[in-house]
């Protein structure tokens, strides 16, 4: 299942994120890399 998320074959739904965060003992926000972009 994880490989499907990593290769964009399946979208990670909030329920999936919640389950993964509980298994990995992290926050749901930690499952993604957030890249800030300038508003310019």
pLDDT digits (tens, 9 = 90+) for 1-40: 788 888 889 888 999 999 999 999 999 989 888 888 887 6
Structure-block tokens of residue 20: 């993964």
Q: What is the spatial distance between Cα 21 and Cα 11, in angstroms, rounded to a whole number?
A: 16
Contact 29, 22 (CB under 8 A): no
**Phi and psi for 28 in degrees, rounded to 5?**
-60, -35
pLDDT of residue 40: 67
Contact 12, 30 (CB under 8 A): no
Structure-block tokens of residue 2: 């994880």
pTM over 0.75: no
pLDDT of residue 21: 93
């Amino acid at each position: 299942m994880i490989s499907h998320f990593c290769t964009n074959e399946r979208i990670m739904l909030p329920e999936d994120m919640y389950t993964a965060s509980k298994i990995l003992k992290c926050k749901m926000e930690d499952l993604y890399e957030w890249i800030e972009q300038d508003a310019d």
